[in-house]
Amino acid sequence: MKKGDVLTLLNSSNKDWWKVEVNDRQGFVPVAYLKKMEPGLSSSQQQLLQSSSIAAKQSQIENLYQHLLDLGNQRRKKLEEACKGYQLLREANELAEWIRSKEQLATSHEIGQDLEEVEVLQKKFDEFQADLRAHEVRLAEMNKISTALAAIGQTEAAVKIRHQIDNLNERWQALQEVTTQRAQQLGSAHEVQRFHRFVCLLFFTIIH
């Protein structure tokens, strides 16, 4: 035996001499010249340990990847919601501007001087009402989107959008009211001018 040899310990009951074995040979060696080593892992145990370690790392990587995917999906949804919010605000501003531009037409008191002028005014008003109905459909869609955004979370942006849509609904209601009044006004003016035309024709017929 020489220094550095690895021996198999057979008996360590004696505090001074240990019985050991090396290369199928047994003998006693002073304890002072020996150093007890912890038993190592077998080849199969090492492979199992390595396999377990690889599996654990793979699982850790998969969990981390899934976490990143979840964060990415959450970020994408927030960005989509933000885009919808900004788009809704832009469309609300555009609709508010349209209402502003049509308020003058709806609140006009011009009724024309004869039947032809009344019919021209009525034609313009009919076109305005058709446009009004088309915008009413879009306003209903905007209200649905605003409600959906508010349901997701009461963020500052959602509250701002809801406030602007509510204001838009109030202005729309006011526009519809004056539109109804204007429709009645033009209807009455049309009847008056038709009656006036009838009287004039009747008078002309009697004279001739």
All domains of the chain, ordered by start, with CATH? 8-37 (2.30.30.40), 81-207 (1.20.58.60)
Task: Please return the burial class of 182, using the count of CB atoms within 10 Å of its CB with bins 0-12, 13-18 and 19+.
Answer: buried
- Residue 16 is given by DSSP the state S
pLDDT tens, per residue, the chain with 208 residues: 666 667 777 777 887 888 888 777 888 878 777 777 655 555 555 566 666 677 778 888 888 999 999 999 988 888 888 788 888 888 888 988 988 888 887 887 777 777 788 788 888 888 888 989 889 888 998 888 888 877 776 567 778 888 889 999 999 999 989 888 888 888 887 787 776 666 666 666 666 5
69 contacts 142 by C-beta, under 8 angstroms: no
Helix axes 156-207, 43-106, angle to 10 degrees: 30
pLDDT at 66: 92
Q: Which residues contact 121 (CB under 8 A, 6 or more apart)?
A: 110, 111, 112, 186, 189
Rounded Cα distance, 17 and 34, in Å:
10
Q: Which amino acid is at 91?
A: E
Tokens representing 35 are 């150093």
Q: What is the pLDDT of residue 71?
A: 92
Strands of 8-11's sheet in order across: 8-11, 17-22, 25-30
Residue 49: predicted pLDDT: 60
Q: What is the Cα–Cα distance from 100 to 142, expressed in whole angstroms?
A: 18
